[in-house]
Chains A and B, each alone.
Chain A
Amino acid sequence: MRAYIITGLLTVIVCLVYSCQSDEQIEYMRYYTAGQDIYKTKCQNCHGAQGEGLAALIPPLTDTIYLKANGNKLACYVQNGLRLPILVKGKAFNGQMPPAGLSPIEIAQVLTYVKNSFGNNMGLYNVQQTNKDLGNCK
């Protein structure tokens, strides 16, 4: 009998913990899947299905250190395009990226996808953070 009660209690606790996590998890998954679709239509032609970029013409999205160090500038790059030379994986890239033509929520979604694909694992990048970062664009 006691064993049943303990098992039941444990199950309830596990369920509780799981459901608490899943709220955040569900939001993350929503961003991630929406971002994946946006990536395919807006980014993949240049940056590649594996985020591999293209030789020395288009930077890869696999440089976690770069993405972390420039995490709060990425939204601006996506919104406004990029003309400055950047250093990714030790290589200089000086081409131009055109503006992607995305809304802040779409930018948040696609960056959540990029920041958690291709070997990156940086978690959710939500629309509040995106709006804050967009406010600081130069």
Chain B
Amino acid sequence: MKFIILSAFSVLLWSSCSFNDKSNSVLPIYGSREPVTKTVNGKQVTDTVYQTIPNFEFVNQYGKTINRKSLDGSIYVADFFFTSCPSICPIMHRNMLKVYGTFKNSGNVKIISHSIDPSHDSVPILKSYADKLGVTGNNWWFLQGKKEATYKLAESYLVAVQEDPKAAGGFVHAGYFILIDKQKRIRGTYDGTKPEEVDKLIADVKILQNEPANMIAQ
């Protein structure tokens, strides 16, 4: 009798483990989606169109123009910050350095940090910030451009950003890291101030790296 209970329990354990495993291996797709019906070869086909990051055009720390196309073929992590931020930005970028260090040599992973205070964060200031963080090369870009454009883009990343003279540093923003896949869809959001969530982000980037290019995730 004891043996039966024990074996039943272990089977249960085993199946619950494999179930977890399965659900972890595919990341969800966030944002709005809509079905699109089109006619292919005379047949009606319904497809799901997922929300993607719209086009943008900003300047990076090297003074080079960066747009949506610059990230073609890359998995990337985006966040919003400003260099004079006294509150959560240092801890966010301490954690982001770990992401940077992990994928520096993998080629297809980039990080983009949008400044939400472009009037202060000029290109030279972003360059010196990057230098001081020890960031070189083209894996981590610090972008600045028109404030309205940045704030509008933040909405596409499902991140709230706004100016508030009462907040420390003059801006309020959420410290989220957003994971974007090669098709420019949102695949994860992580609290950039928490080391354990950033470890999850690193694991999820690795899952995306192994995802087949034409895979349709549910």
Given the complex, which residues of A lie within 8 Å of B97, measured CB to CB?
A: 55
Q: Which of B91, B93, B97, B193 is packed against the most chain A CB atoms within 10 Å?
A: B91
Given A48-B94, A98-B168, is A57 in contact with B88 using a C-beta cutoff of 8 Å? no
Q: Are A57 and B168 in contact (CB under 8 A)?
A: no
What secondary structure prevails in chain B residues at the interface with A? helix
Q: Are B86 and A54 in contact (CB under 8 A)?
A: no
Given the complex, which residues of A lie within 8 Å of B86, measured CB to CB?
A: 46, 98
Given the complex, which residues of B lie within 8 Å of A58, measured CB to CB?
A: 90
Given the complex, which residues of A lie within 8 Å of B94, measured CB to CB?
A: 48, 54
Instruction: Give chain A nearest CB distance to B192 CB in angstroms.
Output: 12
Please report the C-alpha to C-alpha distance between residue A11 and residue B210 in the assembled complex, in whole angstroms.
68
Residue in contact with B132 in the complex, picked from A44, A48, A56, CB distance below 8 Å = A56
Please report the C-alpha to C-alpha distance between residue A56 and residue B93 in the assembled complex, in whole angstroms.
12
Q: Are B90 and A57 in contact (CB under 8 A)?
A: yes
Residue in contact with A55 in the complex, picked from B88, B91, B134, B168, CB distance below 8 Å = B134
Q: Are A96 and B134 in contact (CB under 8 A)?
A: no
Given the complex, which residues of A lie within 8 Å of B16, measured CB to CB?
A: none
Q: Which of B56-99 contact A (CB under 8 A)?
A: 84, 86-88, 90-91, 93-94, 97
Instruction: Give chain B nearest CB distance to A48 CB in angstroms.
Output: 7
Q: Are A46 and B90 in contact (CB under 8 A)?
A: yes
Q: In the complex, which residue of chain A has the Cβ closest to the Cβ of B90? A: A46
Kindly supply a per-residue 1/0 record for chain A positions 56-83, scoring 1 wherever the CB is within 8 Å of any chain B CB and 0 otherwise.
Answer: 1110000000000000000000000000
Q: Are B87 and A54 in contact (CB under 8 A)?
A: no
Residue in contact with B88 in the complex, picked from A45, A48, A56, A96, CB distance below 8 Å = A45
Kindly supply a per-residue 1/0 record for chain A positions 10-45, scoring 1 wherever the CB is within 8 Å of any chain B CB and 0 otherwise.
Answer: 000000000000000000000000000000000011
Given the complex, which residues of A lie within 8 Å of B129, measured CB to CB?
A: 57
Instruction: Give chain B nearest CB distance to A105 CB in angstroms.
Output: 22
Instruction: Give chain A nearest CB distance to B130 CB in angstroms.
Output: 10
**Is B45 an interface residue when CB atoms closer than 8 A count as contact?**
no
Please report the C-alpha to C-alpha distance between residue A58 and residue B92 in the assembled complex, in whole angstroms.
13
Closest 4 CB pairs of A and B: A56-B132, A46-B90, A45-B91, A57-B132
Q: A46-B90, A46-B91 are in contact. List 15 more A-B contacts (CB 8 A).
A: A45-B87, A45-B88, A45-B193, A46-B86, A48-B91, A48-B94, A54-B90, A54-B93, A54-B94, A55-B97, A55-B134, A56-B131, A56-B133, A57-B132, A57-B133
20 contacting pairs across A/B (C-beta < 8 A): A44-B91, A45-B87, A45-B90, A46-B86, A46-B90, A46-B91, A48-B91, A48-B94, A54-B94, A54-B133, A55-B132, A55-B133, A56-B131, A56-B132, A56-B134, A57-B90, A57-B133, A58-B90, A98-B86, A98-B168
